[in-house]
Amino acid sequence: MSDPIKFRPLMVLRLETAAWQEFGSTPQGALTIVPVVGGSFAGDRLRGKVLAGGGDWIMADANGTFSLDLRITLETDDGALIHMTFGGVRDDANHYLRTTPRFETAASQYAFLNRLLAIGIGEIRAEGPVHVIEEVL
Amino acid sequence: MNTRLLMTMQVNVGTAQNIGAVPYGTRRTAPISGGTFEGPRLRGTVLQAGSADWLLLRSDGVLELDLRCTLRTDDGALISMGSFGLRHGPPDVIAAIGRGESVDASMYYFRTLPRFVTAHQAYAFLNRLVAVASGERRPQGPIYTIHEVL
């Protein structure tokens, strides 16, 4: 018997997206790029806004499952920049949208982000994607 | 966050290939010489061929693990597994692991995020899930307890 892995809330990330760019079928699958033009994030340990310039590179496989590949820049309310990426799976048939975010920052007060793994539960809402992200303890 | 046990996997590692200082840290490759995995929905062996853990010790002391291995289930399906992980802890604990000593897994952080790819229909559910694992470093190689993220 194994102990379940424990988690701790990290942030809720809300993304503002621009018009999807549909590329159609590429050799790897059907590609859609969802540009991220803004947003916000908030948690006990960090909060701030999402800078424009990022996006999610989404590849659909033949079974209608999507592979996510997001990269964005976060700016905290005290001025630190955080490079954030995630891979993930979106399977609409099973209402499943899970991501594995990673963070990189040079700001010492957020260096803990460089040392953790995280899991996100995503939801596509009318106002845009919302990801509830928890640290893997 | 809800999870459920997917499998435990134990692998044995061979002689490490010390690549040395590279631009982002110190790189070492640990070939996997074999292993086994077992869970409620799948079980089998870890193949030696094509399986290794590509390790990068970063300048901040965190070890990044980039594992790739091929699993063969007991009914003959091939599953390609990859995982990204982090391992870090107090310097004396990490040093003890480096000396090949047995260390209580609660003394350090060793977590990975496995992903799976297979063409076998019986295991197609693996293509559509995200998983998280806790690792335990034994002298002969790690044991991973892998949970599906529900």
For B106-136, write each residue's pLDDT tens digit.
999 999 999 999 999 999 999 999 999 999 9
| pLDDT for the residue numbered A98 | 98
How sure is the predictor about A104, in pLDDT bands with cuts at 50, 70 and 90? very high
Residue B130 has its nearest CB partner, among A5, A61, A88, at: A88
Average per-residue pLDDT for chain A: 94
CB-CB neighbors (< 8 A) of A92 in chain B: none
| pLDDT for the residue numbered A27 | 85
| pLDDT for the residue numbered A63 | 84
Q: What percent of chain B has pLDDT over 70?
A: 100
> Is A94 within 8 Å of chain B by CB?
yes
| pLDDT for the residue numbered A43 | 98
Distance CA B107, CA A98 (A): 28
Per-residue b or e along B75-84, where b marks 16 or more CB atoms closer than 10 Å to that residue's CB:
eebebbbebb
Looking at the DSSP assignment, which residues form a beta bridge with residue B18?
B28
Q: Which of A100, A108, A112, A116 to mutate to test the interface with B (most CBs of B within 10 A)?
A: A100
Please choose, from the candidates B108, B107, B117, B115, the residue with its C-alpha nearest in 3D space to the C-alpha of residue B132: B115
| pLDDT for the residue numbered A4 | 83
| Chain B nearest CA to A114, separation (Å) | 9
| pLDDT for the residue numbered A64 | 86
Q: Which of residues 74-93 of A touch B (CB under 8 A)?
A: 87-89, 91
Residue A58 has pLDDT above 80, yes or no: yes
Residue B4 has pLDDT above 90, yes or no: yes
Phi-psi label, residue B34: left if phi above 0, alpha if psi -120 to 50, beta otherwise: left
Per-residue b or e along A104-131, where b marks 16 or more CB atoms closer than 10 Å to that residue's CB:
ebeeeebeebbebbbbbbbeeeeeebbb
Spatial neighbors of B133 by CB under 8 A, at least 6 apart, are: A5, B83, B85, B111, B112, B113, B114, B144, B145, B146, B147
| pLDDT for the residue numbered A1 | 47
Mean pLDDT of A98-124: 97
Residue A2 has pLDDT above 80, yes or no: no
Residue B3 has its nearest CB partner, among A5, A89, A117, at: A5
